[in-house]
Amino acid sequence: MREDSEPVPKLPRGPLIRFAGPQVFRILMTIGMLIAVLILARPCGNAMSNFIMGFDNKGSGSAAVKHATAAQQLPGSAGDYVELHPGMTDDEVRQAIEKAKAKAKHAGSAATP
């Protein structure tokens, strides 16, 4: 084995990452802002949800919408109409109109106690 007269250079050992004062401040501020966003997300989301859901037809100027069941249909719902198709003859249109009038008369008599 041969001996080298030159010593083997050593790698410098020390802290892997060095931060200056302003860099540490920016990192801490960023971490603080992320934590604030995580903490404040739920109350802010709930407040926004309440604000948006406040437009649910409730208020002094509008009537509340009642949901119709299968036995009770609101006027103007799809069950009150008779379908008219293109190409229907005049007699078919008249029959559809008579059917709609009969349905409306029956619904009106059923609604009054």
Please write the tens of the pLDDT for every residue from 46-75.
Answer: 888 888 888 876 555 445 445 545 445 555
Give the whole-angstrom CA distance, residue 64 versus residue 58: 6
Q: Which of 1-5, 30-34, 43-47 has the lowest mean pLDDT?
A: 1-5
Residue 95 pLDDT greater than 50, yes or no: yes
Tell which residue, 74, 71, 95, has the closest CA to residue 83. Answer: 95
Q: In whole angstroms, give the CA distance from residue 74 to residue 66.
A: 8
- Cα(58)–Cα(37) distance, integer angstroms: 32
pLDDT recorded at residue 7: 84
Residue-level pLDDT at 70: 47
One-letter amino acid of 26: R
Percentage of residues of the chain with pLDDT beyond 70: 69
* Overall average pLDDT of the 91-97 stretch: 91
Sign of CA pseudo-dihedral 24, 29, 30, 35? positive
| 100 neighbors 81 (Cβ within 8 angstroms) | yes
- Give 111 or 17, the one with higher predicted confidence: 17
- 81's tokens: 């109409």
Question: Would you state the structure tokens that stand for residue 68, as one six-digit string?
Answer: 């119709």
pTM listed for this prediction: 0.34
